[in-house]
Amino acid sequence: MTTATATKPRSALAGLELLELAYAKAKSEADELGRQLHAQSTQQPDLINERRRLYHRDPTLFDHLERPAAPDNAVAAVDARIDELGDLADLGARVAHARRVTENCRQSATEFSRENLTELKRDFQAPAAAVATAANDGIAAAVEDLRRYLGVQQRFASIIGAAGEDNRCVPGLDQVAALIRQLENLRLPDPAPEVTDG
């Protein structure tokens, strides 16, 4: 287990959340190192090619060991940029290690879920029921708002019709009525049904 699980969590769901946080952190770090490696390893060949071009164009910029002939010439500037990239082999090893840590964290969360599934389902029921209730309450409120909206539309259409004008110019009457019919019969189920011991 990782250090994220060193203290006893208050519930299985809290324990899983700790493992998921550890995984997210490890993945973020591995992704960042991977981006660094990609950026640096794509820059290095360009700098090496630039150094070669300088050698072929003006060999006097180099000494007999192909080092810069002067500390402030163009070759020294390219070498300084190569040095800024750092040790790509070390960075590659850090990326590989970070990816192994990430995979380990993912496996820990998966194993924890498998081993504690019944308890996780129980822990999940109350928040899941609350989400379903809030969503259903929102749907019911939306239906009421749409009925008021439709009432205003119908009132306006009747005023226009009473004045002898074509009341088909009121937009959305049919769409709003159809939406109300769809929503008034919609009831979202609990996303986590009750667990029975068996």
Domain ranges of the chain: 3-115, 126-184
| pLDDT score at 85 | 87
DSSP letter string, 73-118: SHHHHHHHHHHHH--HHHHHHHHHHHHHHHHHHHHHHHHHHHHTHH
| pLDDT score at 171 | 76
| pLDDT score at 145 | 95
| pLDDT score at 28 | 97
* Residue where the block lists tokens 């997210």: 24
pTM of the model: 0.62
Q: What is the pLDDT of residues 105-155, one digit of tens each?
A: 999 999 999 999 999 988 888 888 899 999 999 999 999 999 999 999 889
Which residues does the chain have with pLDDT short of 70? 1-7, 193, 195-198
Angstrom distances, CA of residue 139 to CA of 95, 172, 183, 186 = 47, 20, 7, 8
Half-sphere exposure of 60 (CA within 13 A, CB side): 0
* Share of residues in the chain with pLDDT > 70 (%): 92
| pLDDT score at 189 | 86
| pLDDT score at 180 | 93
